[in-house]
Structure 1
Amino acid sequence: MSPLIQASELAKQLGRADLVLIDCRHELAQPEAGKQAYEQGHLPGAVFAHLDQDLSGPKTGRNGRHPLPDPLQLAVKLAALGIRTGCHVVAYDAQGGMFAARLWWLLRWLGFESVQVLDGGVNAWLAAGGQLDANPPNITVGTFEAKPQNAKIVNADTVLDNLDRQEFVVIDARAPGRFAGEGETLDPIAGHIPGAMNRFFQLNLQADGRFKPAETLRSEWQVFLDGRDVHDTVQQCGSGVTACHNLLALAVAGMPGSRLYPGSWSEWCSEPGRPVARGAA
C-alpha cells in the first residue's frame, strides 16, 4: 500500500464500511483552530483527532511539547475514533501533511499497517470536486491490539551517547532559521543538536501542497544523505511532529528504515546539560 492516497482515489472509496477518515488539522499557534475548521466543514464521515489531546502524551516540562503517548492509551483513544482491526485509515490535514503524518507514523508505530495520508489534504479534495459537510459522524468504537515497534524510536540518552559514537546522523526537519538558532519562537533555547543535518520538511512538497513524485524524493534524499544508509539516520524536529513528515517522504521514496527521536529539540533543550550547536552547519 502506498503511504499516500490521491483525492480521486479516495472519492471512489467514500462510504465504504471499512474506511475511517481522520481529520488532523491543527495550528501550533492556535491549538483549537483545527477543531473549529473541522466543525465548519470536513470530509464526509470524518472524525477529528487533536494533536495535543489525542496524538500526544502528557507533558512534564522535560519530555517535549508533543510527547509520545503511551501506546496502550493511544490505542484506546484511536479505537474511540473508530479505528479497528481490518479497517483502512486515511488521515488528512490542510498543512501539507505535517499533522496527518504524525497519525500515520503513530499507527505504524503501533503495528497498524493499513493507513494512508491524503496527498494535498483538504485543498486537493476540494480541487478534485470533493465536498465538505458539517454533519457529526456516526462512530462505531473499534478495537485493535497495539504492538509497539520500539525499534522505530530512539530516546534522548541514545542521541546524547551518539555524539561520541557517531553510529547514526540526526536529521532535523525544522526550517533553516530555527535550525541555525535564529528566530526561535516555540522553544526557550535556540539551536540544534550538535552534528545534526537540516532537511526542512517543506522540501518534500510541491507548490500545490502535494508530495513530490517518489522518484524526485528518492533522488533528493539520496543526494542529501550523500552515501549514508537511511537506516543510520534518526529524524527529529521541534517536537516530534514534522519529523514524521520526513519519515513519510522517505516511505514514499521507497527508502524506509530511518527512526524517530520523538522528544526532539523541545525535549533536548529542556535539560541544561545537553550541548547546543548554532549556525547553519
Structure 2
Amino acid sequence: MYKYLITPEQLKQHLHEPGYLIFDVRHDLLNHQAGLHAYQQGHIPGALFLDHEQQLAAEKTGKNGRHPLPKRSDFAALMRLQGLGTRTQVVVYDSSNGLFACHLWWMLRWLGHEKVAVLEGGWPSWLAIGGEQETGIRKPARTEAQALQSLPMSEHAAMPVRTVDQVCAELGNDNRVVLDARAPERFRGEHEPMDPVAGHIPGALNRSHLQNLEADGKFKTIEKLREEFDALLGHIKPPQVTHQCGSGITACHNLFAMEMAGLAGSNLYPGSWSEWVADASRPVELD
C-alpha cells in the first residue's frame, strides 16, 4: 500500500493493473483553465482530471475563502462517481511540486481513505522517465447507480479540521500554533497577489511549503523533514498545530510533510487567510 509517495518507476510498474485510480490535479491559481488544458494535451494513461475550483471546493460566498472545503458527503459522492472503492490505490499528481496533489491527498485522508499517494516529482518526473501519455478527456466509467453501492463513509472525519472561530479563540494560547505555508514575503505582508489584505494571523509561524523540497523539487528525506519540524515547533505536538495558507491548499503540503515524517495528527484550517480577512474585525499582524 502506498500512503505517502510513489515514484514514477513504481507507478509505471502498476500502470495497467486493476485497483489503481490516478488523478491529475494540475492547476494554476491565476489561470483556472490551464490545468484542464494541460490535461487535454497529455496525461498519464487512465488518469482522471479533477478541478480545484469547481469539483474540489464548495460554493464560494465571499466569506468562506477562495477554496472552501466541501461537505464530506458531497466529496464522498464525487469520489464514488470517479470509481473510488475501499480497496482502491489512489495516485495523485500535478506539475507544481505536489502543491495541489497534497491537497487532494489530504481530502481523501479526511474522507477516511488511506491508500492514497502523491507521485514524486509529478508530471515532469513522469515525462523524465519516458512514461506513456494519452490525450483528450477520460470520463469516469462508473455509473451513479454503481457509485451508490460503494465507499461507505465513517461518521467522523479521519483528519482534524479547525474552524475560523476555533482559530480565533486560540489566539495567544502558548499551547497552540498556527503554521502558515505561504511564501515569506506574503506572510510578512510585503507582497499579497491573491487576497485583499496583507499580513498573517497574529502569532503564526511561517514555513513555506517549498522548504519541504530539495532543489530538484522532490521531497526531502523523512529524517531531514523530522529534524526541521522538530526544530521549528519545539515542545508543540502535532495535535496542537493548525496548518494555514491562502485558501487551504498549500497548507496541506506542510501537513503531508509532517505526516510523512511521523508527526501525525495536525489540523487544517481550510478557510485560511482568504477567509480570515473576509471579516475586518479579525486581527492582522505585519512583520
Name the TM-score, length of structure 1 as normaliser. Answer: 0.96
**CA shift in 2, pair 1:208/1:259, >3 Å:** same
Counterpart contact for 1:22–1:92, Cα < 8 Å? yes
Q: Distance in 2 between matches of 1:167 and 1:221?
A: 16
Cα shift at 1:145 = 2.2
Structure 2 residue aligned with 1:201: 209
**CA shift in 2, pair 1:138/1:32, >3 Å:** closer
Q: Distance in 1 between matches of 2:10 and 2:239?
A: 32
Counterpart contact for 1:236–1:260, Cα < 8 Å? yes
Cα shift at 1:8 = 0.7
Work out the number of aligned pairs and report it: 279
Counterpart contact for 2:94–2:122, Cα < 8 Å? yes
**Residue 108, structure 1, aligned to residue 109, structure 2:** yes
Structure 2 residue aligned with 1:220: 228
Structure 2 residue aligned with 1:269: 277
Structure 2 residue aligned with 1:24: 25
- State how 1:11-160 maps to structure 2 within 5 Å: 11-137=12-138, 139-141=140-142, 142=147, 143-147=150-154, 148-149=156-157, 152-160=160-168
Structure 2 residue aligned with 1:189: 197
Question: What do the CA deviations read for 1:2-30 (whole angstroms, capped 9, x no partner)?
Answer: 41111111111101111000000000000
Cα shift at 1:232 = 1.2
Amino acid at match of 2:217: G
Moved more, 188-197 or 149-158: 149-158
Moved more, 172-181 or 226-235: 226-235
Q: Distance in 1 between matches of 2:159 and 2:129?
A: 38
Moved more, 28-37 or 77-86: 77-86
> Which ranges of structure 2 fall in alignment gaps of 5 or more residues?
none
Amino acid at match of 2:89: H
Q: Distance in 1 between matches of 2:162 and 2:192?
A: 25
**Residue 172, structure 1, aligned to residue 180, structure 2:** yes
Counterpart contact for 1:45–1:136, Cα < 8 Å? no
Amino acid at match of 2:249: V
- Select 2:253's aligned residue among 245, 249, 252: 245
Counterpart contact for 2:53–2:67, Cα < 8 Å? yes
Runs of 4+ in 1 over 3 A off after TM superposition: 135-138, 164-167
Q: Distance in 2 between matches of 1:95 and 1:275?
A: 31
Q: Distance in 2 between matches of 1:268 and 1:113?
A: 30
Moved more, 218-227 or 253-262: 218-227
Q: Distance in 1 between matches of 2:139 and 2:197?
A: 44
Question: What do the CA deviations read for 1:50-97 (whole angstroms, capped 9, x no partner)?
Answer: 001111111111100000001111111122222222111100000000
Q: Distance in 1 between matches of 2:139 and 2:164?
A: 41
Secondary structure of the residue aligned to 2:171 is: helix
> Which ranges of structure 1 fall in alignment gaps of 5 or more residues?
none
Q: Distance in 2 between matches of 1:110 and 1:126?
A: 31
Moved more, 145-154 or 219-228: 145-154
Amino acid at match of 1:75: A
Q: Distance in 1 between matches of 2:64 and 2:132?
A: 39
Q: Distance in 2 between matches of 1:60 and 1:85?
A: 33
Cα shift at 1:151 = 6.0
Name the TM-score, length of structure 2 as normaliser. Answer: 0.94
Question: What do the CA deviations read for 1:181-225 (whole angstroms, capped 9, x no partner)?
Answer: 111010010010000000000111112211111111111111111
Cα shift at 1:138 = 5.8
Q: Distance in 2 between matches of 1:54 and 1:151?
A: 20
Secondary structure of the residue aligned to 2:242 is: strand
- Select 2:218's aligned residue among 206, 210, 217: 210
Secondary structure of the residue aligned to 2:99 is: coil
Counterpart contact for 1:45–1:138, Cα < 8 Å? no
Q: Distance in 2 between matches of 1:259 and 1:117?
A: 19
